[in-house]
Amino acid sequence: MLIQPELEIGFDNRGYRGRIHRRRCLVGQVFGLADTKTGQAEFSPEFVGRVRKMEYPQLLFLPRKLGLLEVDSILRLDELQSVFTPHLQASQVALGGDLSSILKEQVQFLITERGPNPYTELREMILKSEE
């Protein structure tokens, strides 16, 4: 899943060896919570429940969506990586505005451990509702 699109640097470094324009973007790995062919669970229901309740700031639950995700999945924010943009295949699918904002705030919280922000407020509300 694309987290941060390629950002232009807008500087010409002619005459020097250093490469400024590397055509990179930031992606996160998505892992299915069940086998896509058999539907057999790959993770315990207790763990999946805890991910859904946002107990782990490095994980984001992504529900099954026909044509996009064949099974419920998790996005691992602790395994973000830079990839060469031309190696990616573009799709016409994107996270909705609210979910996209929450994801950005979740990444910010994961890196800085600072809040409050809408992600931390939502997380606290969900965690408190389970007490």
- Which of the residue ranges 38-47, 95-104, 108-117, 118-127 has the most confident prediction, judged by mean pLDDT? 38-47
How many C-beta atoms lie closer than 10 Å to residue 83's C-beta? 14
Burial class (CB within 10 angstroms; exposed 0-12, middle 13-18, buried 19+) of 62: buried
pLDDT digits (tens, 9 = 90+) for 28-50: 899 999 999 998 999 999 999 99
pLDDT exceeds 70 at position 103: yes
pTM of the complete model: 0.80
